[in-house]
Structure 1
Amino acid sequence: MEIAKFGVEDWLNVWENDAIYDIAGSSIASMTLEEVLQTIQIDKNEFMNLCFNKKMNYGWIEGSPEFKAEVCKLYKQVTPEQVLQTNGATGANFLVLYGLINPGDHVISMYPTYQQLIDIPKSFGAEVDLWQIHEDDSWLPSLDELQRLIRPTTKMICINNANNPTGSIMDETYLKKLVDIAKSVGAYILCDEVYKPLTEEIQVPSIVDLYDLGIATNSLSKTYSIPGVRIGWVVSNLEVAEIFRKIRDYTMICAGVLDDMIATYALRNAALILERNKRIVQENLAILKDWVNKEPRVSVVFPKNVSTSFIKLDIPVETEEFCIQLLKEKGVLLVPGNRFNMPGYARLGYCTRKDILEKGLEELSSFLRSYDE
């Protein structure tokens, strides 16, 4: 099996540990375990006693009943049998694609997006058409273009909502039109939903609440600020879930019992975590907007309370070269847009700690001034 290097992950693996001001990530300010417990108002000693008395066996293979019950609350009519715990959303996406995509299948993938959704189907021998997003349409792809790409034999449409790297959002109206197109040929829709918009202004239902052949993947890594537990999940209809069960036994077995416990507590108290994270997103987005408005060499389609942004750079050098020199001279880490096949742009993760964001933007502006001379 041949597969391309994972552009973003390859970049971060090489450069992330060199950063002083890491404004490349797309999670919302990751918490320590102590911060998690404080946020969800769980007594630390009580929690540690639970950990010390937890039997270190395989636990619940598909995720504990308590975990599944909390995941079900995130959707309208999902039962525990439709939920499978995975190793992050990365594991969930792989499980879906491994379970459903065969050589010769036709897949349409939003582009750019999380690279798994494009290159894993290709590696399985599928024919993948790229459904291009457009900056002048708030980084959304055209439904008319999708209609031209769709075939009677299309097996799956892959989307990432909200989108990584741009933060663009497909709202309920848009998603319903997308469902109508998929339904016309009986295609699955795989939607990576790890970036929840933290705003009430836009209604963004899960794809599984709109479409029987919709498949939702999610995790605690982005919106919930706990990537360290490596817990995700996939939700689908019962027939598809049975396919994933079979494949899952070959790819995962189970998550760790302590990870499952932390994930369950976090989801049970999700409102408290989201309240904390909504405040971070709002405050940091205001900082980003103010900075962009003052920075002549940067423009951006601002995300709507989503934790990732995609800035456009007015610079006379190749983007990756710029990002490497920025890191070496100023300690500031971005993800160059060419890692999404979008040179001239960079992913800027503005939902890090406030002090890191402010100093990182200050140093980025200082570096950009060298091109004014």
Structure 2
Amino acid sequence: MVHIKPFAVEQWMDTYETTAKYNIAETCAASVSVNELRELSENKTAEIVDLSTVLNYGEIRGNETLRSNLARLYSSRSGNPLPKENILIQPGAIAANALVLYTLVGPGDHVICHYPTYQQLYDYPASLGAEVELWKATPEKQWAPDFEELKGMIKDNTKLIILNNPNNPSGAVLKKTLLQEIVELAREKNITILSDEVYRPLFHGVTPAENEFPPSILSMGYENTICTGSLSKAYSLAGIRTGWVASRNRDLIEKFAEARDYTTISVGILDQQVAAFALDQDCIHSLLGRNIALARTNLELLERFVIKHDEYCTWVKPVAGTTAFIKFCRDDKPIDAREFCKQLQEKTGVMFLPGDCFGEEFKGYVRIGYVNRTDVVKEGLEQARLFMRKEFDDIPLAA
């Protein structure tokens, strides 16, 4: 039997999110309804879902319109257009990641994973028999991992370098220069790169005009690159369970398609129609504009909270995505973040997520998802402020 560690983040969310009054642990930009999606579109009369569609398996590798829209997005900043055939639709980015790892990784392989990050990206390959090493980023370096450390980690059997850009939980990005160095190293050693870009393109503290703006890994000129994404985070459509895997290397896509036959026949036809509508040029700019504006507005609220409690809180302000990683201390010692989150939700209805879900070394940290609807974030942070004033001194310190 394959041994895999319990998925700490997902288990916490499963336990607490349905009872939260103010869910500011949520990592999706505030979700929209089909009706709200139509209102965001420039074409208010366009059909989102064709109710005459026969509900068979549909196009096995994915809706052609959806894949064409994705190919356009990945080609916009590249002189080398990405063919739609180089994209496979999956039920969310989590399934896309699993497909890539299941296909490429096994016993005897060495995998390097950017860290901290989503637990799937390092514990799932370990469960497949790979040796996994963590390429650690720290707040002291603004959550930027050290390239020289990465060079020193490479082995003869290194099969895969895994990145998460923008990063969950920190909201930091791997900058363009660092990405170029990673790509050149991988090219020299013939190592494949997997980049989980599920929070792309939700950039709110860095702009495409800046020299260090991070491009997609598919735009870096190296064939053996893979990226995964979904409609859940930046596009507010977690409920349609639609994601993808894309690569410049068509041979890799064909390998994934062969493995996919064992796990995913196809993704729901109607779900993909909604996804295609959202990524159409009539809708995508308004949808992303809404979410970037939400992120900026709500991050200001969160920053005020951190500043107000600066004797207890430290952070590196996020520049992308939907999450912030904040350390809570008292008398310069980290608090018991699990107890903090439990008591906070029990007494106020406010949901945070304890940072040790990302690793035992993150004592005192909490992850806050600040791109929910502004009224939820505003009231949730006010309730957290009142809790800090009345209850925080009684929270135990971390062991």
The 3-state SS of whatever aligns with 1:263 is: helix
Q: Indicate the residue corresponding to 1:275 in structure 2.
A: 289
CA deviations 1:68-113 (Å, max 9, x no partner) are 1101011132101110000110010000000100111000011111
1:368 aligns with 2:388: yes
2:354 equivalent to 1:353: no
Number of aligned pairs?
371
Distance in 1 between the 2:340 and 2:27 partners?
A: 20
Question: Quick one: distance in 2 between partners of 1:135 and 1:310?
Answer: 9
Q: What's the counterpart of residue 364 of structure 2? A: 344
Determine which structure has the larger helix proportion and give its number: 1
The residue type paired with residue 209 of structure 1 is S
Q: Distance in 2 between matches of 1:41 and 1:308?
A: 29
Give the drift of 1:213.
0.9
> Is the Cα contact below 8 Å between 1:110 and 1:160 reproduced in 2?
yes
Q: What's the TM-score once normalised by structure 2's chain length?
A: 0.90
User: Residue 113 of structure 1: SS of its match in structure 2?
Assistant: coil
Partner of residue 173, structure 1: 177
SS at match of 2:47: helix
The one of 202, 205, 219 equivalent to 2:215 is: 205
Aligned to 2:152: 148
Distance 1:371 1:291 in 2: 14
What is aligned with 1:311? 326
CA contact (8 A) 1:195 1:222 kept: yes
Does the 8 Å CA contact 2:166/2:320 hold for their aligned counterparts? no
SS of the equivalent of 1:223 reads coil
What is the one-letter code of the residue matched to 2:289? Answer: E
- One-letter amino acid of the counterpart of residue 343, structure 2: Q
Give, as a single letter, the amino acid of the residue that structure 2 aligns with 1:25: E
- Compute the displacement of 1:322 (Å): 1.2
Q: CA deviation at 1:371?
A: 3.1
Q: How many percent identity over aligned positions?
A: 40
1:153, 1:185 within 8 Å by CA — same for their partners in 2?
A: no
* Distance in 1 (alpha carbons) for counterparts of 2:58 and 2:336: 50
In the alignment, residue 31 of structure 1 is paired with which amino acid? V
Shift of 1:120: 0.8
3-state SS, counterpart of residue 30 of structure 1: coil
CA–CA distance in structure 2, aligned partners of residues 346 and 112 of structure 1: 13
Q: Does structure 1 residue 217 correspond to structure 2 residue 217? A: no
Once the two structures are superposed, what CA deviation does each residue of 1:33-85 show, in whole Å capped at 9, x if it has no partner?
211111124447x637x532111111111111111110101113210111000
Distance in 2, matches of 1:233 and 1:279, equals 25
**One-letter code aligned to 2:27:** S
2:141 pairs with 1:129: no
Alignment of structure 1 residues 37-76 onto 2, 5 Å: 37-43=38-44, 47=47, 50-76=49-75
One-letter amino acid of the counterpart of residue 195, structure 2: C
Q: Which amino acid aligns with 1:47?
A: E
Runs of 4+ in structure 1 off by over 6 angstroms are none
TM-score, with structure 1 as normaliser = 0.96
Post-superposition Cα deviations, 1:240-294, rounded to whole Å, max 9, x if no partner, equal 0010010111111101110010000101121121111111111111111122111
